[in-house]
Amino acid sequence: MRLPWAPVETNATALNSVRARRGRRPGPSDTRERLLAAARTEFAEHGYQRATMRAVAAAAGVDVKLVAHYFGSKKGLFGAAMELPVNPAAILGALLEGDVRLLPERIVASVLQVWDDPVDGPLLRTLMLSALHDEAMATALREYIEREVFDRLAERLPGPHARARAAAGMAQIAGLIFARYLLQVGPVAAMPAGELAAQVVPALRTALGLDPRRRPGR
């Protein structure tokens, strides 16, 4: 039986090759691996919001302090359990710093840089395609994005209707990822990153309701 967190069979070869290039070494089960196995089960059964570090530790038979020791936080544990090559919450935290008027440029540049990476990009594509075929995985990933990405983005946007504007902005980014990396639509996939960013940034700025001429906080 395929585990909820395993990639679909059509993507298994690609995932294994990427893991090999990243230097992951197989070995006997240890505390960290037991925690990861318990976390995958916990996230699959309860989703991101209801899963707890204490429950993961109990299932692994270790003290909850070891979860923080190995992974730092629930966000870190989720990223490791999902085998994400990057931490979206950490990246967003860095992007949200600085002038909010330039946030669209920072977001688009970061998305293109991460997904165009020859190692991280294929792994991200495999994971996203796997989520489309696995309800438990999709639910946990969706809850993670809603809490750690969407909510934080909405909090950073000035002015009224911030959540609606954050939703519109995320739709723009999701469309970019879907067209360029998942479906790999020819003209979008082939366009140089700089040219594509120049086309996408204005639309994202409009969606987020950010006027580059307006001073922050006004």
Mean pLDDT for 130-150 is: 87
pLDDT at residue 213, as a whole number:
64
Residues 6 or more apart whose Cβ sits within 8 Å of residue 143: 47, 48, 49
Tally of structural domains, the chain: 2
Q: What CA–CA distance (Å, rounded) separates 196 from 183? A: 16
Tell me: do 102 and 177 sit in the same domain. yes
The answer as to whether 191 is a domain residue is yes
The answer as to whether 42 is a domain residue is yes
Q: With 70 as the cut, is the pLDDT of residue 6 above it?
A: no
Tell me: do 122 and 58 sit in the same domain. no
The answer as to whether 117 is a domain residue is yes
Tell me: do 46 and 117 sit in the same domain. no
The answer as to whether 16 is a domain residue is no
Tell me: do 93 and 68 sit in the same domain. no
Tell me: do 125 and 39 sit in the same domain. no
pLDDT at residue 14, as a whole number:
35
Q: pLDDT > 90: what percent of the chain?
A: 53
Paired tokens of 80: 């490791």
Expressed in percent and rounded to 5, the helix, strand and coil fractions of the chain are 70, 0, 30
Residue-range definition of the domain harbouring residue 38: 23-81
pLDDT at residue 212, as a whole number:
65
Q: Which residue has the higher pLDDT, 106 or 84?
A: 106
